[in-house]
Every structure is written in structure tokens, then in C-alpha cells.
Structure 1
Amino acid sequence: MATKRIVKCPNCGVLNTNKEYCTNCNTLISHQKKRELKADIVKQKEIDKVIYERENPNLTERLKNHSNIFYKIIGWILYSAFTIVTLIGAGLAWLIAMVAAG
């Protein structure tokens, strides 16, 4: 047995029964449909972000994949330098956290 849903339109105030859109002003009133649309928007934003990152790599990735060997070497040196700096920073953060913890 289906339940009867009566929803008041937030736009025009008309009461609608078992409808996703208002019969008077065609405003979306279904909370389930709103959640589905919001989830689709979030998913599309994540897909667009991944596509952008794949199409626009950072400087070190572009240099590492360059056809000229000189630029490849520079790219690998930069990549290695960034990696070493990151490891030193992570080690310092860990050390500070251990000293603060006692």
C-alpha cells in the first residue's frame, strides 16, 4: 500500500499530492529527487576535476615526459628535490608530534 505524501510548494504555497514537481509553478519539491540531483552534481564535479588534472599536468610531470633528454633530466631532478623536501617536512612533523606527545 503506497503512502500518500502531501507536500507544500516552497515557491507558490500550493499543496501537491505524490508529485516530484509542483503542479502550479513546476518547482522541484521532492527531497529524494533533490538529493539525487545533488549527488549527480558532486559526481560530475569530481569527474571534471580528474579530467582537468589529466589534461593539465604540473611542471615536473611535463618535464619528465618531454622528448628532449635534457628536459627529462631536469624534470627528474625537480621531482627528486620535491620528494626529498616532502620527506624532510614529514619527518619534522612526526618529530614535533612525538615531542609534543611526551
Structure 2
Amino acid sequence: MEEKTIKCPNCGTLNTGKKYCTNCNKSLSQEILLQKKLEKIKQQEIDKVIYERENPNFTERLKKHPFFLYRIFGWILYSGYVVASAIGAGLAWFIAMVAAG
């Protein structure tokens, strides 16, 4: 089997049969680069979920407020959002059914 000669994208050094550049130690293997990219994306998704849990939206904060009037107002806002979403979903379904014939 013939060993591949790969030019380092970072420094331009030619490397034969290596996974890392002999000059700058940058990864030359596509599998390693892909694995690092997937790990980075996975960590970004984890950070996003943590941020959303630690920083709830306005309605969620009102629903858990210690003062009962604010809690009631939060539930009213939430209920209005749910009703508006249900009306929108029903309207979209009706238009789809009319268009389908």
C-alpha cells in the first residue's frame, strides 16, 4: 500500500503517512477533524440548553413568581399564547384541507 503525502493546510509542510503535521502539529486526518467539529457542535447545543434552563422567558418567570397576582397574570398570558397557537394550527389545517380538495 502506498503512503499518502499530505500538504498541511496550516503551514504548507509535506507530510507522508502522518495524522498530524510534523512542523505545527495540526491534524491532517479528516476523521479527527470531523470528530472535533462534531464535539464542538455538541457542546454548543449543551450550552444552549443550559442557557435556556437558567434563563426562562418572561411568561415562565411570571408563572413561578411568589406574588399571586403576578402568577395569575403569567398564567393568563400563557393561556392566551396557547389559545392563539391552537387557533393558528386549526386555521392552517383548514386551509390545507380546502387546498387538498
Q: Name the TM tier (shorter chain).
A: 0.7 to 0.9
- Match of 2:12, SS state, is coil
Q: Count how many residue pairs are aligned between Structure 1 and Structure 2.
A: 101
Query: What is the percent sequence identity of the aligned residues?
Result: 60
Shift of 1:98: 1.1
Deviation by residue 1:11-38 (Cα, 9 ceiling, x = unmatched): 3433323322211232221111101100
Shift of 1:76: 0.6
Post-superposition, which runs of at least 4 consecutive aligned residues in structure 1 deviate over 3 A?
2-6
Q: Kindly tell me: are residues 50 and 37 of structure 1, through their superposed partners in 2, closer, same or farther at Cα, counting changes over 3 Å? A: same
Shift of 1:5: 4.6
Give the TM-score taking structure 2 as reference length: 0.88
- Match of 1:97, SS state, is helix
Give the TM-score taking structure 1 as reference length: 0.87
Q: Which runs of 5+ in 1 are unaligned?
A: none
Shift of 1:3: 8.1
The residue correspondences of 1:75-94 to structure 2 (distance < 5 A) are 75-94=74-93
Q: Which runs of 5+ in 2 are unaligned?
A: none
Shift of 1:99: 1.2
Q: What's the counterpart of residue 28 of structure 1?
A: 27
CA distance in 2, matches of 1:3, 1:25: 24
Deviation by residue 1:27-84 (Cα, 9 ceiling, x = unmatched): 2211111011001110011011001100110111000001111111101111100000
